[in-house]
Chain A
Amino acid sequence: MNQNTRVDSVERALQLLRSEQWTGPDGNPKIEEALMRIASTNKTPDRAVARKTLYLAVGAAFLLGAAGASGARAIYDYYTIGWHSSDGSDFAADVRLENGQMITRDGRSVVFHAQEDAAPKEAGAHKLPDGATFTTKGESAPAPAPDATPK
């Protein structure tokens, strides 16, 4: 095989690839929306969540089209926690961990206060089944029950 043939095969391959033009839209509003959402968040939970957000945005754009596609949302892992109040009531809630805080599905933060007579082990770091940790405040607090206040 001579040199000309060799050059031609490479040139032709590169020319073919060069001629392939993107015919899709000039921008993807869903991606931009997701980027801005991430940018607006002081601290993104982690890179995997951000990637999921973007993929969700792209997927929504393709599958649902512009009309009717709901906005991209970050995906969080929720944990169901339960507690026993000093007045005898039992509570449960789904929470996600965000910046070291437990946040309920409706966006409220959950803060546990140890009772004055609580055992020392009830305050401090706690581990969830998959290894994630959260902490409860160790100081004494007047309210015996968990306090869910709007964020």
Chain B
Amino acid sequence: MFDLKSEVKKLVHAGQKDLAAQLILRNLNPEEDFTSHLTKWNLLKRNPPEAKLQKVKLAIVSTSTANHLVDFLKMYFYRAGFEAEIFLTEFRTVEQSVLNATSSLYEFNPDILWLDNNFQDLQFPSNDEKAAIRLGDNLSRWSALWESIQKNSSAYIIQNNIAAPFTRSFGSLDSIESQGRLNFVRSFNQLLASKAIKGVTLFDMEYLSSLVGKKHWFAERYWYHSKHAFNLEYVGIVSSQLVQLVTAIKGKSKKCLVLDLDNTLWGGVIGDDGVQGIKLGNGAHGEAFVDFQRYILELKNRGVILAVCSKNDEANAQSPFLTHPDMQIKLEDISCFVANWNNKADNIRHIAATLDIGLDSFVFVDDNPVERNIVRTMLPEVAVPEMTEDPADYIRILEFQNYFDMISFSDEDRDRSSMYRSNVERKELSQKFTDISDFLIDLNMKSTVGNLDNFYLQRITQLINKSNQFNLTTKRYTEAEMLKVMEDNQYQCRYYKLVDKFGDNGLISVVILKDSGECGLEIDTWVMSCRVLSRGMEDFVLDDLVAVAKARKAKKLIGHYIPTAKNKLVEKHYSQLGFKLFNEDQGTTQWQLELDTLTESKNKFILRESAT
């Protein structure tokens, strides 16, 4: 099991303090409780990030006890790329600090000032008072403070709205009756939003309290004991959201959402399943993908730039955008569309260069944990949310991160996407590959190899018949035919399973070999799941085939590539493995590999687990 403390210790021991800090920050989770945050802070304060970060000076002027937020805010500021200096005014000295031009608050000279209030600050109307008058009184307390702050400093002001309490003395009538508390708080929040002046932005505490659930948000005993306005278990949510807002004020919010396609925007694999076979529109999964696409369009409509980064042939990748009736996102919504078989870190670099925006403005969404970790490892500036396997979760995962927070909205935001799109000149994707050996070694891959047996007969037959992209000959076999292959000595069928540090990929490749006379061994069929592409599996399989061929006293391996509409991916497969072309006929190519010319094995990254 992953133990953050011991992993951090190891890195610190190895002198990699900055990596230790990055590891702690990557493992921050706003939804975790107070104690978990405290543990992480205790680790981080001894190994703070060493990189030079942008400074931010935040003053907290609170009517409740906010001391516990300070360390956790610093931690989330680090994660967002800021080094924060935080000043907290003395308990209950809001007016004394703000109205006095020579107070220690102004001496601190904050660039952001957070006015943190709660419902206990509100003066509610008594029975014979008009609610409207009381609303005005309450507002003027805070608007007077804004004016004073703006007179005495150049700090940008963050003002809470009020988290409405759960008590309703009027019961259901509470949200209707003008004397009702709920109605009053809601009206106050509306008024506050409409009266906020330039340089003041709202921090929606009411939303956060509803998100958590008011039953949990409020912990009265902590109010009575130590004047904490909300349950300390939610320090993570409040800190991370406040930091997102400051990030937006500083103009550092994320700008571009990079999307994978297969199992991210639709269910299934377009290259194998085809436009009619992918899950989109109908069924539980199909509906979830449609709603996720609609959510993405909402983001796009308020200024988020969309890009696609997919391991696919471009024509395949674009086909649903062009012809699927339930596809919500259209090609013109995508500012930069990249579909190829290069590694995704390089592709995201290419997208960043094409759109001319910094890598730290990117969020990358992919259902595949291996792709996510390639990008996390190679491009630490890119935000990569941890996804689940259920598309029903996708919206909430993005929503709660609030990557694209903003403090104003203009026509320019609305049109940003088309602006970027028109700016894009489709530059040739640079073929500069980053060395990913370190990553592949770190994947800790192990492969189990065996000959076709009854146990795997069904899965092997299924893989042979389902694979379209990584399939050299696209020959199909029934289970009965495979049984014959199993019994006929002229044939040998090999299967390969793959496990890596993220889990078991299952049985992912199958090869059928056949004696072809003249001491040749022919590769009748070679299929592989595209999920494990570009991870050295092809080399590993070739080494095994060479070993099998030698054991069968063969002198050469012979391979064919028979082109179909879907297998362009493996057109150069044999040439990449060092085979020599010896025949070509209407696109079909024939290749051979002389075994006695081979001296060393090709595999570098995959451990052979066991063999039969």
Chains A and B form a bound pair: no
Chain B residues in contact with chain A, CB under 8 A? none
Chain A residues in contact with chain B, CB under 8 A? none
